Amino acid sequence: MKYYAIIVGGGSGKRMQNPVAKQFLLLGNQPVLMHTLSAFYHSNFKPELILVLHPDLHQQWDDLCTQYNFEVPHLLVRGGEQRFHSVRNGLMAIKGDGIIAIHDAVRPLVSQKLITRTYEEAEENGNAVCCIKPSDSVRRLKADQSKIINRDELVLVQTPQTFEISQLRKAYQQPYRAKFTDDASVVEKAGFKINLIEGERSNLKITFPEDLELAHFLLR
């Protein structure tokens, strides 16, 4: 079996409000994205790595790789308008069959254990999507009111989201919809059942400035 990982870093990181792309910000001794790529590179499954970045960032990435002597092999692909288009561009770079993990560039703290489990589960069940239970109470907003929701019926979805390539190829032939905020939503719409597995609270997505501070703390 052949294994792949598409690391999506094609976003612009508006919520981070930093002139430096958030995937390039320093976390410990190297940029966030180098932690993410290294995590997959060191996995037992030895996936082939495809990195998706906005074309405006390709030169800066090459420069960073030189500056940090970063030698993890990867294929660099152009990002698209939405995350959906970035994943689709990454997918188009893969020709054969196998299992693909799709992972946000800005989730650098993903553990080896979780990466292993998503590949194993996807190989057994067709796909594996990580999630955690909410620990806060949750309310639905409607006009000027809000109503409590039963949080036992909710999960918070993370990446990696890992699939047999055939599922992903079929799913990503669909036209883009605004509600396709992750890969599970695209694959589900194509008619496949989503297999949830337990994610990790430390597998945070660096979205706001506070997330990077927390990641620094968790890295120690």
Ligand X SMILES: C[C@](O)(CO)[C@H](O)COP(=O)(O)O
Ligand Y SMILES: Nc1ccn([C@@H]2O[C@H](COP(=O)(O)OP(=O)(O)OP(=O)(O)O)[C@@H](O)[C@H]2O)c(=O)n1
Q: Is the peptide bond before 160 cis (omega within 30 degrees of 0)?
A: yes
Question: Residue 182's binding partner, choosing from ligand Y, ligand X, none, with beta-carbon cut-off 5 to 8 A by kind?
Answer: ligand X
Q: Return the residue of 157, 165, 214, 218 that touches ligand X, per CB under 6 A.
A: 157
Q: Return the residue of 169, 170, 205, 214 that touches ligand X, per CB under 6 A.
A: 205
Of the two residues 11 and 47, which places its CB atom closer to ligand Y in the complex?
11
Q: How far is the CB of 108 from ligand Y (least distance, A)?
A: 10
Residue 109 is a binding residue for ligand Y (CB under 6 A): no
User: Residue 52: which of 127, 159, 128 has the closest Cα?
Assistant: 159
Site for ligand Y in 41-100 (CB under 6 A): 52, 79-83, 86
Site for ligand X in 36-95 (CB under 6 A): 83
77 vs 51, 151, 181, 219, CA distance in Å? 6, 38, 20, 28
Site for ligand Y in 13-52 (CB under 6 A): 13-15, 52
How many CB atoms are closer than 10 A to CB 1? 9
Cα separation, 124 vs 102, whole angstroms:
17
Cβ atoms of 140 and 147 closer than 8 Å: yes
Give the contacts of 180 (CB within 8 A, at least 6 positions apart): 82, 83, 84, 186, 189
Residue 12 is a binding residue for ligand Y (CB under 6 A): yes
Task: Classify 116 as helix, strand or coil.
Answer: helix
Which ranges of the chain does DSSP label H, i.e. alpha helix?
32-41, 58-67, 83-92, 112-125, 165-171, 183-189, 209-219
Residue of minimal CB distance from ligand Y? 11
Q: How far is the CB of 7 from ligand X (least distance, A)?
A: 12
Cα separation, 111 vs 216, whole angstroms:
15
Q: Return the residue of 37, 65, 106, 204 that touches ligand Y, per CB under 6 A.
A: 106
Residue 12 is a binding residue for ligand X (CB under 6 A): no
The interface region with ligand X, picked from 70-78, 145-153, 154-162, 188-196 by CB under 6 A, is: 154-162
Binding residues for ligand Y (CB under 6 A): 8-15, 52, 79-83, 86, 104-106, 205, 207
Binding residues for ligand X (CB under 6 A): 83, 104, 157-159, 181-182, 205, 207
